[in-house]
Amino acid sequence: EVQLVESGGVLVQPGRSMKLSCAASGFTFSSFPMAWVRQAPTKGLEWVATISTSGGSTYYRDSVKGRFTISRDNAKSTLYLQMDSLRSEDTATYYCTTDDYYFDYWGQGVMVTVSS
Amino acid sequence: EIVLTQSPNTMAASPGEKVTITCRASSSVSYMYWYQQMSDASPKLWIYDTSKLASGVPDRFSGSGSGTSYSLTINTMEAEDAATYYCQQCCSTPRTFGGGTKLELK
């Protein structure tokens, strides 16, 4: 059974940093591109970033480019999202997903609240 | 950026009623994908490659469309279908989603 378990969400002040993790199991993690998708409270879904199988290629939405870094450790079957210079508009539930041009498997999500 | 516009934003359907949700893209896309999200739950892939049902999806659901116009149809509404549905385009960066259609049981 495919499982994606996010962790690291918490309340953080604007301008500070936070790192999310996603532990994967039940599939060959190194064979799948991975992504983060977020959902602000009562809002729709928004793609954030994608990373290739090797980690050699990364893609970001414009609003997080230069502030967020997606990475992976295939030996640990873990996906990461380093978030710097956080803003109130980054407040959302962040989902870890497989990314095969569409998002097949999703984690349960982790809430990130950016507020002073 | 390709903008996806879903309609309606919200709707209510009675059991047995036929339901159609549409998704219009600002530019032509090759395929459309649909997700179902129940309250306080993660989204689930529901339809892929425009018309293929994801594993476990009842066959009362169908997807169709091409170019800039796509749709998700429920042949006969059931209570368990009440949820929010999102469309998504795969192949132009950034990946984008529609705003969602909240489907309620009447």
Q: For A44-75, how does the pLDDT look when each residue is reduced to its tens digit (9 = 90+)?
A: 999 999 999 999 999 999 999 999 999 999 99
Check residue B91 and give its pLDDT. 87
Residue type for position B95: R
Residue contacts between A and B (CB atoms, under 8 Å): 47
Q: What is the DSSP string of B14-31?
A: -TT--EEEEEEESS--S-
pLDDT along chain A (116 residues), means of 10: 94 97 97 98 96 97 97 98 98 97 96 96
Biggest CA pair distance of chain A: 40
| Contact: A44, B99; criterion CB under 8 Å | yes
> Which of A59, A101, A108 lies nearest to residue B42, judging by beta carbons?
A108
Considering only CB atoms, which residues of chain B are within 8 Å of chain A? 33, 35, 42-45, 48, 54, 86, 88, 90-91, 93-100
Q: For B14-69, how does the pLDDT look when each residue is reduced to its tens digit (9 = 90+)?
A: 999 999 999 999 999 999 999 999 999 999 999 999 999 999 999 999 999 999 99
Check residue B33 and give its pLDDT. 98
Check residue B10 and give its pLDDT. 97
* C-alpha to C-alpha distances, B44 to A43, A108, B84, nearest whole angstrom: 16, 11, 11
